[in-house]
């Protein structure tokens, strides 16, 4: 997995791979491919935490792993083990991890793709590995296309962003960013009209338009000037890009692309 960095959210520099010698512990899930997915990085307790996915496209024999580093630099990451995994007999897919810290300082990991939808587990706030056995379902489309969750806490609400529809088809991608919210980190999350996200609900934040095709696999974070939505999308040529927009909030507290 390459690691870019930026000082201004606009210009990005590639600084090398997190695992320059590969990640052989993931081979069981990737069929030997070196392609690892959907990294999530957080800094806490004086070190960097990296959660990432190992899978093959379209199957749910998958795992989310954790590594830590004192600096975040390439080659300094230590493999810490498996956080959660799924098999072909499960009704969920253990990919696309995203961390949220709730108002009480508890750590949670949301994840999931297709199958029965988006799940959530508790993490230990020191190790970054799973804590306990609780397993929450927070969004789903009855087996339809939903994935790439991220949860952002703002005011009294937790906002759950997900991607609907199809990624990774170049300019034919139909990915779009949807959102629901809850006063509890574990839900229930509902959209603007009150439809639960576990029943296919979701309020659209961003979809394809003009030369922007299939925006999705989003993350949201607070910066000094605004909340920021980051995502990937395709140009008409099929080339992939990183998209960055500031978020605004309407009078009812629902986010929109500013």
CATH number at residue 207: 2.115.10.20
pLDDT at residue 73 in the model: 93
Q: For residue 164, what are the domain limits?
A: 142-258
Tens of pLDDT, residues 56-108? 988 999 999 999 999 999 999 999 999 999 999 999 999 999 999 999 999 99
108 found inside a domain:
no
Is residue 188 reached through a cis peptide bond, with omega within 30 degrees of 0 on the bond before it? yes
In a domain, 248, yes or no: yes
Q: What is the pLDDT of residue 3?
A: 59
Residue 213 forms part of a structural domain: yes
Give the pTM. 0.96
Does the residue 67 lie in any domain?
A: no
Residue 229 domain flag: yes
Q: What is the pLDDT of residue 12?
A: 83
Q: At residue 1, does pLDDT exceed 70?
A: no
Does some domain include residue 216?
Answer: yes
| Count of structural domains, the chain | 1
Position 192 in a domain: yes
pLDDT band at 10 (very low <50, low <70, confident <90, very high): confident
- 156 and 182 Cβ atoms separated by less than 8 Å: no
pLDDT, the chain, mean: 96
What percent of the chain stands above pLDDT 70?
99
Specify if 176 maps to a domain: yes
What lies within 8 Å, CB to CB, of 146 at 6+ separation is 112, 113, 114, 117, 118, 139, 140, 162, 163, 164
């Amino acid at each position: 997995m390459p690691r870019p960095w930026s000082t201004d959210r606009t210009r990005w520099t590639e600084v090398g791979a997190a695992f320059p010698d590969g990640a052989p512990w993931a081979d069981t899930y990737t069929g030997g491919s070196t392609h690892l997915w959907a990294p999530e990085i957080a800094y806490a307790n004086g070190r960097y935490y990296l959660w990432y996915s190992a899978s093959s496209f379209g199957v749910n024999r998958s795992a989310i792993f954790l590594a830590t580093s004192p600096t975040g630099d390439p080659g300094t990451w230590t493999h810490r083990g498996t956080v959660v995994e799924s098999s072909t007999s499960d009704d969920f897919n253990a990919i696309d991890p995203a961390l949220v810290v709730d108002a009480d300082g508890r750590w949670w990991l949301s994840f999931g793709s297709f199958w029965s939808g988006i799940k959530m587990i508790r993490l230990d706030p020191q190790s970054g590995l799973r804590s306990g056995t609780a397993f929450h379902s927070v969004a789903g489309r009855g087996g339809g296309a939903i994935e790439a969750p991220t949860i952002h806490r703002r005011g009294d609400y937790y906002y759950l962003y997900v991607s609907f529809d199809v990624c990774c088809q170049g300019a034919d991608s139909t990915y779009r960013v949807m959102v629901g919210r809850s006063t509890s980190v574990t839900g229930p999350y509902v959209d603007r009209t009150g439809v639960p996200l576990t029943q296919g609900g979701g309020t659209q934040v961003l979809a394809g338009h003009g030369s922007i095709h299939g925006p999705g696999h989003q993350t949201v974070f607070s910066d000094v000037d605004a909340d920021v939505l980051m995502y990937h999308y395709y140009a008409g040529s099929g080339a992939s890009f990183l998209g960055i927009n500031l978020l605004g909030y309407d009078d009812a507290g629902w986010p929109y692309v500013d």
